[in-house]
A and B are shown apart, each in its own frame.
Chain A
Amino acid sequence: MKINDVILRTVTKTIVFIILTLGIYLFFAGHHAPGGGFIGGLVLASGIVLLYLAYDIETVHKGIPFDFKKVAALGVLLATGTAIGSLFLDVPFLTQAHSYINVPIFGKMGFSTVTIFEAGVALTVVGVVVTIILSISEDE
């Protein structure tokens, strides 16, 4: 059965960018405002899921040619990596560092290793959510 999904596709084309932008914004905002790795990743994942719902798997795969299992694995590697990395700097496991640096144009900006950790969380969430949805929908 062929569903008439013109409206869905048209809306998706615009909305996906808003969702993805929101996801990235949430990810970076997390340090001081609502947001963070988990929720940012979830929003990104929901954007991708919307794409998959509107278009078929092959089409989306052409645009986003990632193996999402590997994305999830990369995320876990990042998260555990920052945890283990602190050992090499002679500080306890999972110690996070942060500091402020003056950047041209943007002014004073905070940089923190938590961001890497959160990026790991975000990538894992994206990878796992999309993997689950894809494997269930592909199942015959």
Chain B
Amino acid sequence: MVTVLIAILLPFVCAALIPLLYRQLRRVAHLGWFVLSVPFILFLLLARYIPQIAGGKTFIHTYEWIPSFDINFTTYLDGLSMIFGLLITGVGSLVILYSIFYLSTKESLHHFYCYLLLFMGAMLGVVFSDNLMVLYTFWELTSVSSFLLIAFWHHRKASRAGARKAMTITVFGGLSMLAGFLMLHVASDTFSIREIVANVEVIRDHTLFIPALILILIGAFTKSAQFPFHIWLPDAMEAPTPVSAYLHSATMVKAGIYLVARFSPIFGGEAVWFWLVSVVGLVTLFWGSFNAVRQTDLKALLAFSTVSQLGLIMSLFGLGSVGHYYGYAENTVFYTQASFAALFHLINHSTFKGALFMMVGIVDHEVGTRDIRRLGGLMALMPVTFTIAVIGGFSMAGLPPFNGFLSKEMFFTAVLAIRDVEAFSISDVGLLFPIVAWVASIFTFVYSVILISRTFFGKLQPDKVDKKPHEAPLGMLLSPIILCVFVVGIFFFPNVLGHYILEPAMASIYPTFPLTSELTPHIHAWHGINAEVLMTLGVIIIGTILFKTLKRWKPLYRIFPQRYTFNTYYNRMIEFSENSSAKLTNRYMTGNLTHYFIYIYVFFVALIAGYFIWSDAIAFDFAKDSTIESYELILVFVMMFAAVWMIFAKGRVTAMLLNGVLGYSIAFFFVIFRAPDLALTQLVVESVTTALFLLCFKYLPDLMPEASHKKVQWSKAVISIFVGATVTLIGLAVVHFDRFEPVATYFNDSYELAGGSNIVNTILGDFRAFDTMLEVVVLLIAGLGVYALTKLKPRKEETDHEN
């Protein structure tokens, strides 16, 4: 299954190539054309597997990474990851096609596409990983790359603030999810999602099961902008519109949905899961749609609409988890249809919301504003854009003949059905589900109508817009048109999608259910006069009335005081943590090197000496030690002499030379004790540091006798003595310390295992090569740090970066 590996790695490889090649490529054509090939090829590669996946096959492949810790790069392609894979690459292709016309070549396109490809790869990594740790890594990578994308126009303060907000909230969720993953690992002893699903009966009784559930859900909720974490999504709209269309309609925000879907076989039957997922989803649905109505910025309106639609999908997965509670039975298999509706709406939402975001981008691009108070009357001037808006908007409002209608009807069916469930004490509040859903749908209808009518109907206000409006070029219209074709096409042929794409995904969500065809309802556009259709009619009638009387009830929003919003709380929290951490940091980061050494040494003594004393490990048996030769004693006295003299040295050069005496003497000891590797290293390091010192020497001030208080001097002396005593104690005690397994066995086998007879090197290059690898990276970072500190000092006039 090398395809999936290619799918994950190709975006990363291309992202790495862009900085190297963009100068050459830029001369040929817009960079986007080259980048476009990546998701397009991946889409075709993945699409080849659709028939096999629909036939019930799954593909798994494990590339061993750190097998000793059960962390492996396991790719898993099944129905669920297929849906997301197709969305990421498919919508990704269209977004890049759109961005070619949206972003001018004057922008720093190489950054933009580099981040976009990073994001795409991370997203594909999330959905194709079976290993929890790898999934987590990619999950955080989506946060980082989306941070870069949102802050793409980083000269704008709002962009940076929005990016930081998105990052703070999603990374907070990610960390909580990591804790949840680790708990799952403790409970199940594996990091593989498949294996956890297979052993779910065993881990269900574990005490960490419910905490893991809640922590993982927090991760999913923050990523999918669920109430009350939704506040980052509207601010993230500072990103360029192609990014909004991609990240905030089709991909990143759906990672949380993916997580919920992926984990529902594990947690599905739990009451906590049902209540959290469905109620948080419904609240988000209502709150998002309610707030979308009052927005005046088109993108903000769409942002709240996305929040609300994500809530809808989330709540459907919650309702669908009832199916897990009952298990497979003929009369309860019906409840699984909520999950089916969720998957269906997931795809529908990506199509119509993608089209709508691109439409708003076109309006912004051609008219120069997104403010609905300044827009109006564009219908005659931009007929194609208008058509896109109508198709997307009506689909969002849930009207026929568009795909949103079908999934919204199924949503109504699900909330109506949930009233009769006799579990989790749903029946007490069962009626609330359809009511909230219905009210939220009314608001959805209202804001969809606002979106269309305020932009395209009414009078044109030429004095309020920056540019003379005209229709966008064909290239920019192409992507939303393709999405609109899907919006209409899915309405007329929903069962093709249902059979080939949704059915295998249902099998992933309900792995214990035998027949997948039963899980896949036949989707009808017309299903007779029933409660759902009447609800839709009600939505249209009441929605129209509300829209007509919008001016009269809009003051309602002002009742809710601004200082109780979540945004205010978020800002206050950030302000508090910034202030308090600044205070704390200023207290101990004094800029005085002596203080830092005191912290390090006190901590060292407390931890190391403390541990040795606490564990009663200090035991000396001098009989075991080898005899001390006279020349060793001489060397020791030389070193002691140098060390003591150094304390009282008057000049820097003297101190430096004495320090050198210490270093070279240690090298001598290494020679005596037959450690030529260490002796060599010590000698060369000593020489290089001496050279370094000589270079710095002329910049350093003269060594001044410290005019400090007697007390301070004494405390320093005490600390020094303690440090020395601790090191001596460790040296003496370590010979008898047997708490850890000795590594000596490796020494004997180094030639057989690693083919090298130099033990030091086989340890560095083979047995513990991971340490060495990271040390090399640290070394590079340190070197670059010194370079940056000395070379790239900002000039005075450049220090002010704020705008």
Residues of A in contact with B (beta carbons under 8 Å apart): 26, 30-39, 42-43, 45-46, 49-50, 53, 69, 72-73, 75-76, 79-80, 83, 87, 90-94, 96, 98-99, 110, 112, 114, 117-118, 120-121, 124-125, 127-129, 131-133, 135-139
Q: Quick check: is B764 within 8 A (CB to CB) of the other chain?
A: yes
Q: Which residues of A contact B784 (CB under 8 A)?
A: 69, 72, 131
Is there contact, CB below 8 Å, between B764 and A38? Answer: yes
One of B143-151, B588-596, B732-740, B769-777 at the interface: B769-777
Minimum CB distance partner of A53 in chain B: B691
Known pairs A36-B761, A49-B691; A114 contacts B684 (CB<8 A): no
In angstroms, Cα B763 to Cα A117, docked, is 13
B131 to chain A, nearest CB (A): 13
Minimum CB distance partner of A93 in chain B: B65
In angstroms, Cα B65 to Cα A139, docked, is 43
One of B222-230, B354-362, B399-407, B751-759 at the interface: B751-759
Q: Which residues of B contact A138 (CB under 8 A)?
A: 790-791
Minimum CB distance partner of B760 in chain A: A36
Q: Which residues of A contact B760 (CB under 8 A)?
A: 34, 36
Q: Which residues of A contact B766 (CB under 8 A)?
A: 96, 114
Q: Quick check: is B20 within 8 A (CB to CB) of the other chain?
A: no
Is there contact, CB below 8 Å, between A133 and B773? Answer: no
Q: Which residues of A contact B755 (CB under 8 A)?
A: 31, 98-99, 110, 112
Is there contact, CB below 8 Å, between A135 and B791? Answer: yes
Q: Which residues of A contact B782 (CB under 8 A)?
A: 128
In angstroms, Cα B790 to Cα A87, docked, is 39
Q: Quick check: is B420 within 8 A (CB to CB) of the other chain?
A: no
Q: Which residues of B contact A114 (CB under 8 A)?
A: 754, 756, 761-762, 765-766
In angstroms, Cα B684 to Cα A137, docked, is 20
How many of chain B's residues have a CB under 8 angstroms from any CB in A?
A: 46
Q: Which residues of B contact A131 (CB under 8 A)?
A: 783-784, 786-787
B583 to chain A, nearest CB (A): 33
B788 to chain A, nearest CB (A): 9
Minimum CB distance partner of B691 in chain A: A49
In angstroms, Cα B790 to Cα A138, docked, is 9
Q: Which residues of B contact A110 (CB under 8 A)?
A: 755
- The contact of B64 among A32, A91, A96, by CB within 8 Å, is A91
Q: Quick check: is B647 within 8 A (CB to CB) of the other chain?
A: no
Residues of B in contact with A (beta carbons under 8 Å apart): 63-67, 73, 676-677, 680-681, 684-685, 687-688, 691-692, 694-696, 699, 754-758, 760-762, 764-766, 769-770, 772-773, 776-777, 779-780, 782-784, 786-787, 790-791
Is there contact, CB below 8 Å, between A46 and B687? Answer: yes
6 pairs, CB–CB < 8 Å, chain A vs chain B: A87-B63, A87-B65, A93-B66, A117-B773, A125-B779, A136-B790
B773 to chain A, nearest CB (A): 5
Is there contact, CB below 8 Å, between B688 and A129? Answer: yes
Is there contact, CB below 8 Å, between A136 and B776? Answer: no
Is there contact, CB below 8 Å, between B758 and A35? Answer: yes
Known pairs A49-B691, A80-B773, A133-B691; A92 contacts B66 (CB<8 A): yes
In angstroms, Cα B770 to Cα A79, docked, is 10
Is there contact, CB below 8 Å, between A42 and B64? Answer: no
Minimum CB distance partner of A112 in chain B: B755
Minimum CB distance partner of A68 in chain B: B783
Known pairs A92-B67, A131-B786; A136 contacts B684 (CB<8 A): no
Minimum CB distance partner of A29 in chain B: B758
Q: Which residues of B contact A90 (CB under 8 A)?
A: 63-64
In angstroms, Cα B760 to Cα A80, docked, is 20
B783 to chain A, nearest CB (A): 3
| A-B residue pairs, 9 tightest by C-beta | A128-B783, A98-B755, A34-B676, A92-B64, A114-B765, A36-B761, A31-B756, A42-B684, A32-B757
Is there contact, CB below 8 Å, between B786 and A87? Answer: no
In angstroms, Cα B754 to Cα A30, docked, is 13
Known pairs A36-B758, A114-B765; A42 contacts B776 (CB<8 A): no
A31 to chain B, nearest CB (A): 4
Known pairs A42-B684, A42-B688, A117-B769; A127 contacts B777 (CB<8 A): no
Q: Which residues of A contact B64 (CB under 8 A)?
A: 87, 90-93
Q: Which residues of B contact A26 (CB under 8 A)?
A: 680
Q: Which residues of A contact B685 (CB under 8 A)?
A: 42
Is there contact, CB below 8 Å, between B779 and A34? Answer: no
- The contact of A39 among B65, B680, B756, B765, by CB within 8 Å, is B680
Minimum CB distance partner of A123 in chain B: B776
A10 to chain B, nearest CB (A): 19
Q: Which residues of A contact B680 (CB under 8 A)?
A: 26, 34-35, 39
- The contact of A96 among B684, B692, B754, by CB within 8 Å, is B754
Is there contact, CB below 8 Å, between A34 and B65? Answer: no
Q: Which residues of B contact A76 (CB under 8 A)?
A: 776-777, 780
B133 to chain A, nearest CB (A): 13
A90 to chain B, nearest CB (A): 7
Known pairs A128-B783, A131-B786; A30 contacts B761 (CB<8 A): yes
Minimum CB distance partner of B67 in chain A: A92
Which of B760, B783, B784 counts the most A-chain CB atoms under 10 A from its CB? B783
Minimum CB distance partner of B63 in chain A: A87
In angstroms, Cα B765 to Cα A120, docked, is 11
